[in-house]
Chain A
Amino acid sequence: MTSQPIWSPVALSNMVEPSTSTGAVVNGAELVVWRDSSGKAHVWEDRCPHRGMRMSFGFVRGDHLACLYHGWQYDTAGQCSHIPAHPQLEVPQTIRMQTFAAAERNGIIWAGATADANAALLPAERTGLVTVRSLYADCTSAKALKVLAATPLPGSADAPTVEAITENYVSLTSGPIRLLVAIQIMGEEKTALHMMATEGAPVAALARYAQDLRLILETPVAEAA
Chain B
Amino acid sequence: MITGQGDVALAEVAFVFSGDLKQASFRQFAQHRAERLALGIDFGAASERFFDVTVAGDEALIDMFEMACSLGPYDCIIHDVTRRDIVSPASN
Interface residues of A (CB under 8 A from B): 49-50, 83, 85-86, 89-90, 92-95
Contact, CB under 8 Å: B60 / A89: yes
- A92 CB, min distance to chain B CBs, angstroms: 3
Interface of chain B: mostly helix, strand, loop or mixed = helix
Q: Does B28 contact A (CB under 8 A)?
A: no
Interface size on B, residues (CB 8 A): 10
Interface residues of B (CB under 8 A from A): 5-6, 35-38, 58, 60-61, 64
Residues of A within 8 A of B35 (CB): 94
Interface of chain A: mostly helix, strand, loop or mixed = loop
Contact, CB under 8 Å: B60 / A92: no
Q: What is the CA–CA distance of A224 and B37 in the complex, to the nearest angstrom? A: 55
**A85: nearest residue on chain B (CB-CB)?**
B60
Residues of B within 8 A of A92 (CB): 5-6, 37-38, 58, 61
Q: What is the CA–CA distance of A74 and B60 in the complex, to the nearest angstrom? A: 18
Residues of A within 8 A of B58 (CB): 89-90, 92
Residues of A within 8 A of B64 (CB): 50
